[in-house]
Amino acid sequence: MDAELYSITLRDGAWVNLSDRAKWTLSGSDRVRYLNGQVTQDVRLANAQVALHACVTNAKGRMEGDVFLHAATDCLWLDAAPSLREPLGMRLERYIIADDAVLDDVSKAWQLWHWIPGESAPAAEPTLELGKNGRRLKAQRFGRPGYDVWLPRGEAVEPGSRVLLTEQAETFRILQRVPAWPTEIHAEAFPQEAGLEKSCMSFTKGCYIGQEVLSRIKTTGKMPRELIAWEHIEPESPISAGSKLHLDEREIGQITSATLHPQSRRWVGLAYVRQGVASLDSVLRLGDALPSVCSEIKISAFLNQ
């Protein structure tokens, strides 16, 4: 993503084609009750106007995936990262025992497009034609309120505006400080570590798998790590995900996502560090060697601030 496209996207908005994401429908009279026991969000709030973001966790509270979900008249709709199609589908199927609930994989039957509104018209709805069976709903996927458009596979799509390529959308995600599977959201992380407590979790809906552990984190505020945003001091000095971060000769974490900022030409991104060891404007050092020979990184902001 170059500086011009980034500026245009911020100002006027852009489309992202998410049709390769895994997609399911959950039908049956027990569908809401069943799914409410599987995800961190209150499924009873699901409707046809807004997509809810939720995490799927195991009994230890660690993440097995994240989904966006909404409701139709006779079923719930879910979508997740493409690589979660098989493992998350199996995970959701596993606990359907005596419930009247049927999970169907509809990944190949539907397109999914997302509209990122620009600052010039933040409330503007997308103009993509829905046809007879298409639908549109609000969804926040890239750090700002946007819209999802679902269309049957094979139906012609004419966005009428710019469409971000996969690499460009990934850059925009990182610039917006949005955690994603499998970089920040993965099997070793708790939802709160990824900064998802406010957007993905309900602490009033009742029990679900992993709820006891996650409620304890909510009460104590203690967790092994926290997600931070960082900015490299040196322009265009390359950085890659997986690089270790040090503070005063101590290894405190590692970078999860990195991209070159199209305007400042500095590398920026997200990283997990041990909780409480770094603060805003902390100067960290990068690399596996001793800090004295590593490049410097400055944290620009915490994800939740």
C-alpha–C-alpha distance, residues 38 and 225, integer Å: 24
Structure confidence at residue 255 (pLDDT): 94
Query: Can you give the pLDDT at residue 19?
Result: 97
Q: What is the layout of strands, in order, in the sheet containing 110-117?
A: 135-139, 146-152, 110-117, 13-17, 163-164
User: Which 8-state DSSP code applies to residue 155?
Assistant: -
Residue 293: what pLDDT? 38
Q: Which residues contact 154 (CB under 8 A, 6 or more apart)?
A: none
Contact predicate 299/230, CB 8 Å: yes
Mean pLDDT to the nearest integer, 67-96: 97
pLDDT of residue 239: 86
295: pLDDT confidence band, cut at 50, 70 and 90? low
- Report the amino acid identity of residue 116: I
Mean pLDDT is lowest, of 42-46, 121-125, 155-159, 248-252, for: 121-125
**Burial environment of residue 156 by CB neighbours within 10 A (0 to 12, 13 to 18, 19 or more):** exposed
Contacts of 6 (CB under 8 A, 6+ apart): 171, 172, 175, 262, 263
Do residues 230 and 244 touch, judged by C-beta distance below 8 A?
A: no
Can you state the angle between helices 166-175 and 3-12, rounded to 10 degrees? 70
Residue 297 confidence (pLDDT):
66
- b/e per residue 276-299 (b: at least 16 CB within 10 A): ebbeeebebbbbeeebeebbebeb
Over the stretch 48-72, which tens digit does the pLDDT of each residue have?
999 999 999 999 999 999 999 999 9
Choosing among 3.30.70.980, 3.40.50.10860, 3.30.460.80, 3.30.1360.120, the CATH entry for 3-175 is 3.30.1360.120
Q: Which residue has the tokens 């599987």?
A: 38
Confidence of residue 296 (pLDDT cuts 50, 70, 90): low
Q: What local confidence, expressed as pLDDT, does residue 292 receive?
A: 36
The counts of H helices and E strands in the chain are 6, 16
d(CA 305, CA 303): 6
| Residue 302 in this model has a pLDDT that exceeds 60 | no
Considering the segment(s) 225-302 as one domain, its CATH architecture is: Beta Barrel (2.40)
Does the pLDDT at position 238 exceed 50? yes
The residue assigned the tokens 């970089």 is: 183
pLDDT of residue 299: 63
**Alpha carbons 222 and 192: distance in angstroms, whole number:** 10
Residue 161 has pLDDT above 50, yes or no: yes
Reduced to 3 states, what is the DSSP secondary structure of residue 253?
A: strand
Mean model confidence pLDDT for the chain: 90
pLDDT(127) > 80: no
Q: What tens digit of pLDDT does each residue of 239-291 get?
A: 889 999 888 878 999 999 999 999 999 999 999 999 988 887 788 888 654 43
Taking Cα atoms as reference points, which of 183, 189, 182, 177 lies closest to residue 142? 177
- What is the spatial distance between Cα 216 and Cα 220, in angstroms, rounded to a whole number? 6
Q: What does the pLDDT read at residue 61? A: 97
Q: What is the pLDDT of residue 281?
A: 76
For residue 5, what pLDDT band results from cuts at 50, 70 and 90? Answer: very high
- Residue entry with tokens 């993503």: 1
Residue with tokens 């994603």: 180
Helix locations, 24-105, DSSP H: 31-36, 85-94
* Domain ranges across the chain: 3-175, 225-302
Query: Which DSSP string corresponds to 109-127?
Result: TEEEEEEEE-TTSTTPPP-
- The residue behind tokens 């322009």 is 235
